[in-house]
Amino acid sequence: MMNIFYAGIGGRNTPSDVLIKIEDIAEFLGKKNFILRSGGANGADSAFEIGNDKVNGSKEIYLPWKNFNNNPSELYLQWNIDKEFYDIIREINPAIFTQGHSSLVLHARDCQQVLGRDLKTPSSFILCWTDRDISWPGGTAFAINLALKRGIPVVNMIEKDWEVKLEKILRLF
């Protein structure tokens, strides 16, 4: 069976009722052998991981540095970012280069959630919750814009028809 990756991401301010839905969906997808990619942040990221872990689902949790948010994942960048990350980040959010190096590492982690550790194995879709305009410079907006630029479908759970969109995507698998 082919590996089917999805990025489960979103805001740290995700409402508690949505976090419960995220856990349920992640549990369902884990049972169906979808592989979660997320980033270990509070809120939506953690809810995806909790739901996925309930069924011992496969996951790739990309961290900017070791023990980020007390997450034990071994998939962390630390402070090493190669040129390929810089090129992708510059393409989506060149303004980030005016901020500190930790912002770059966080965005590099977001690249891996969307494109995989090798940056060549894209997620099949992005499932997220954000109430922010995607022009806003945060990590979820960055990941959404990267996915859209690469033709990866994005389902934002704040949209009215998100369940219909997700069902259509899941029917492809």
Q: What is the pLDDT of residue 81?
A: 83
Nearest alpha carbon to residue 37 among 102, 151, 123: 123
Beta strands in 33-137 (DSSP E): 34-38, 59-63, 75-76, 125-129
Helix axes 83-92, 101-115, angle to 10 degrees: 90
Q: Which fold has domain 4-167?
A: Rossmann fold (3.40.50)
pLDDT tens-digit profile of 23-47?
999 999 999 999 999 999 999 999 9
What's residue 165's pLDDT?
A: 97
- Give the tens place of pLDDT for each residue, 122-138: 999 999 999 987 767 68
The mean of the pLDDT values for the chain is: 93
Global pTM reads: 0.94
Return the higher-pLDDT residue of 26 and 82.
Answer: 26
